[in-house]
Amino acid sequence: MEIDEILDDIYLLPENSKLALKKIVSEINHKKGHTLIKANKIEKYIYFIKKGIVRAYVNYDGIEITFWFGKEGQTVVSMKSYVESKASYENISLLEDCEMYQLKADELKILYKKDVHIANWGRKFAEKELIKTEERLINREFKTAKEKYSDLLKYNSDLIKRVKLGYLASYLGITQVSLSRIRAKIN
């Protein structure tokens, strides 16, 4: 997905503002397995996925618990670092070789002060990230594993082919055996 599409999906900017924003964006590539964001470290960048897939997880009692997958067109950000300049909660690792756009948060914040359109873009960016987090929380707390898997099939069916079953099971909050049973019943 191209950077113009990603930026426009967040909030439509006047052309001059979009050009100013794009000047602080660079393209990067990382190999599968790379940890892009590390827990307990302040993350200085915001990323947008051009190509590839990532997973966000936390370590809890020695177990990795996956709580999010990101793919083409989506944002990769530690909101704790972005908003408060504090160490992140999560680890974010690449499940495929990834092409990404990288944006330094400090440079973005300077643009917020110079351009009200970019400041509004940043507000919409934060609002959309909040809504995604809220949806994940509600989904995780109130839906059964079968409902969560059905939603995954409905809205992100490509994840089934691109992500290891163990990560999917962790994301759904169940064991791999339970996931296999649910898949057999649905298929």
Domain limits at 19? 3-142
Contact 97, 50 (CB under 8 A): no
Q: What is the CATH number of the domain that holds 80?
A: 2.60.120.10
| Within-domain flag for 69 | yes
User: Where does the pLDDT of residue 139 fall: very low under 50, low under 70, confident under 90, or very high at 90 and above?
Assistant: confident
What tens digit of pLDDT does each residue of 148-179 get? Answer: 999 999 999 999 999 999 999 999 989 999 99
Q: What is the mean pLDDT of residues 91-107?
A: 98
Vertex 104: Cα angle to 49 and 100 (nearest 5) = 15
- Our count of domains for the chain comes to 1
Instruction: Provide the phi-psi class of 85: left if phi over 0, else alpha when psi is between -120 and 50, else beta.
Output: left
| Within-domain flag for 159 | no
| Within-domain flag for 11 | yes
Cα atoms in the 13 Å half-sphere on the side-chain side of 97 = 2
Spatial separation of the C-alpha atoms in residues 48 and 68, rounded to whole Å = 15
| Within-domain flag for 99 | yes
**Which residues are CB-contacts of 25 (< 8 A; sequence separation ≥ 6)?**
3, 101, 102, 103
| Within-domain flag for 116 | yes
What tens digit of pLDDT does each residue of 41-70 get? Answer: 999 999 999 999 999 999 999 999 999 999
| Within-domain flag for 128 | yes
Count of CB atoms within 10 A of residue 53's CB? 20
| Within-domain flag for 173 | no
| Within-domain flag for 91 | yes
- This prediction's pTM: 0.94
